Amino acid sequence: MSRPSNERTNLLNKNKKNPKTLINRVIDILTCNLLGGPTLAESIAHYLQILNLTHSPCNIFAYVLKPVTYLITLYQSKQANSGLYLYHQKVIHGNNFCAAGGLWMCDYEAVKRHLTEPQARAFKLAPSQLRKSVLPATKLGGRFAFLLSLSQEGAGGNGDWEAFRGCINDTIFTKDTKLRAQDDTSRKLIEKLTSDYKQANCAKDVDGAAAFFGNESQNQNGLDDFLLRYLHYVVFGINPFDESIINQLRDFHFGGGGSAGPHLHLVGQLIALKTGFAFEKQFPRIADILKKTESITDMNEHEPKYKNMTKTEIAGVMVSIMSLAGMVGPTTWARIALGKKKLPPYEGQTTGDIDVTDVWDTIDLNDRDEVKKYLHECGRLRHPVSNTHTVAQEDFMVEMKNKSVSFPKGTIIYIPMQLASIDESVYGDTTFAFNHKRKNLCPFSTIFHSVGESTNGRICPGRHVAENMMIDVMIALGRARREK
């Protein structure tokens, strides 16, 4: 990672000795720019983000600038899903910076702390604002049970998150889930995926295999069709060969604007107008399908430890979870590991030149642990989900460019799991190299919203399903690549 030169540091310190007049601020900004720091636009954007988060109620100047800050926040909210963008912000602003309406604390220990302590939540998915109107309680009635926006006890929560998450753990992710992942049906699905992979000639031309990686609503072959059938079978027990149900699920997740986009503020409204509110109409029908599955149909709706969570409530929550995480995370992870999505060309590094399939073609496919480590190294360098958030429960201070800055209670604190995974203080000189045999790779991994197995309880509930599925897939397709 690039660091400020001594010349730049001396110039900045020299300016800091003087009163912060407007001229001094301009000198600071221009000096940083000329010596490899943030551009003028980046410095102004950062200043406005800090001002918006920290200003006093009496600061009229801050209120006048809020429309401009809002537009900057909208732009950054989209960009901040990219690890490449976040890494650039860290390079120019340091380990702590402000963007997308919140504070980013990027060093590994800060991320570790936030992933293992209780979290307060807002209506956000990564940096994007969620549409409350399409979340399960609104669409289906009943209580608000959307886990991603519920706070935990110890961080302002009332126990709902613990009850509802416990219900999902004990109802959905059971021993039956593990058995289905190992049965003949799952094996047939992987065999079909392998056949599709061979037919698409992916072993020789990953970039040209449009049929295999396409997710069009009518595509009944390839990666996304496999994930749709496999995950809904293993997690819920849905017959993966019942085309009437699979077609409804396919149209919901891949048709129109997809099933993730409609959850987002502004983007979701535009998708709704474009598709005639297709997502809003389909949501109850998909929830009804899940409600009648093996996993949910026999559930006890009068369990006090789950706060009497109903079948309707759990089905609605699972529709949103599958839309925002269950389908998106594995799809992204698979594309990275299969070489379809390239590793990011991090600033000043050669990561973008790495072809992960060169490593995949050499690993021992009979060693599931080595395949697992290959997958985790792919995820370390390009996270399936780059960040999450918590909400500050009290006023606090952080160091920003050798200056203490005070932030109020209620500040959105982003947790950049991607940046923790490329922290040079943890991974050393080989941080940006691909080495799936590195020490403590899996115990330090943050790809499942945890630090290895250390968690505040918010670790991905389907992590074992996704991980074992991906190991099976990489072994099967890896063998196909090695056939003459």
> The CATH number of the domain where 276 resides is what?
1.10.630
Question: Residue 199: its pLDDT value, please?
Answer: 87
Cα–Cα distance measured from residue 316 to residue 410, given in angstroms and rounded to the nearest whole number:
28
Q: Kindly state whether residue 26 falls inside one of the protein's structural domains.
A: no
Distances (CA, A) of 215 to 53, 227, 228, 231, 324: 40, 11, 10, 15, 16
The answer to whether residue 15 scores a pLDDT higher than 80 is: no
Range scoring the smallest mean pLDDT among 129-138, 178-187, 275-284, 360-369: 129-138
Mean pLDDT of the chain: 89
Q: Kindly state whether residue 455 falls inside one of the protein's structural domains.
A: yes
Token pair listed for 118:
């209780």
Range scoring the smallest mean pLDDT among 48-57, 75-84, 201-210, 381-390: 201-210
Question: Residue 137: its pLDDT value, please?
Answer: 66
Phi, then psi, of 117 in degrees rounded to 5: -105, 155
Q: Kindly state whether residue 107 falls inside one of the protein's structural domains.
A: no
Question: Residue 133: its pLDDT value, please?
Answer: 85
The SS3 call for residue 293 is coil
The answer to whether residue 23 scores a pLDDT higher than 70 is: no
> Treating both helix axes as pointing N-terminal to C-terminal, what angle do 368-381 and 463-482 enclose, rounded to 10 degrees?
110
Question: Residue 10: its pLDDT value, please?
Answer: 41
Contacts of 63 (CB under 8 A, 6+ apart): none
CB count, 10 Å around CB of 227? 22
pLDDT band at 140 (very low <50, low <70, confident <90, very high): low
pLDDT band at 16 (very low <50, low <70, confident <90, very high): very low
pLDDT band at 132 (very low <50, low <70, confident <90, very high): confident
Ramachandran quadrant class, 171 (left: phi over 0; alpha: psi -120 to 50; beta: rest): alpha
DSSP 351: G
Residue-wise DSSP of 216-270? -TT--SHHHHHHHHHHHHHHH---TT-HHHHHHHHHHHHSTTTTTGGGBTTHHHH
Q: Per-residue pLDDT averaged across 58-71, rounded?
A: 93
Q: Per-residue pLDDT averaged across 266-284, rounded?
A: 91
Domain count, the chain: 1
Report the predicted TM-score, pTM, of the whole model to 2 decimal places: 0.89
Question: Residue 256: its pLDDT value, please?
Answer: 77
The SS3 call for residue 389 is strand
The SS3 call for residue 451 is strand
- Which H or E run includes 41? helix 40-54
Q: Kindly state whether residue 66 falls inside one of the protein's structural domains.
A: no
Side chain identity, residue 176 = D
Q: Kindly state whether residue 88 falls inside one of the protein's structural domains.
A: no
The answer to whether residue 80 scores a pLDDT higher than 60 is: yes
pLDDT band at 8 (very low <50, low <70, confident <90, very high): very low
Range scoring the smallest mean pLDDT among 33-37, 157-161, 297-301, 388-392: 33-37
Q: Per-residue pLDDT averaged across 60-77, rounded?
A: 94
pLDDT tens digits, one per residue of 111-127: 999 999 999 999 999 89
Cα–Cα distance measured from residue 119 to residue 433, given in angstroms and rounded to the nearest whole number:
32
Q: Kindly state whether residue 13 falls inside one of the protein's structural domains.
A: no
Phi, then psi, of 155 in degrees rounded to 5: -140, 35
Question: Residue 143: its pLDDT value, please?
Answer: 84
The answer to whether residue 391 scores a pLDDT higher than 50 is: yes
Q: Per-residue pLDDT averaged across 245-258, rounded?
A: 90
Determine how β-strand 102-105 pairs with β-strand 412-415: parallel
Q: Kindly state whether residue 1 falls inside one of the protein's structural domains.
A: no
The answer to whether residue 419 scores a pLDDT higher than 90 is: yes
Range scoring the smallest mean pLDDT among 38-47, 167-176, 412-421, 464-473: 38-47
Q: Could you tell me the residue range of the domain that residue 254 belongs to? A: 124-390+417-482
Residue-wise DSSP of 47-87? HHHHHHHH--TT-HHHHHTHHHHHHHHHHHHHHTT-HHHHH
The answer to whether residue 130 scores a pLDDT higher than 70 is: yes
Q: Kindly state whether residue 117 falls inside one of the protein's structural domains.
A: no
Q: Per-residue pLDDT averaged across 427-438, rounded?
A: 97
The residue among 14, 29, 17, 111 whose CA lies nearest residue 414 is: 111
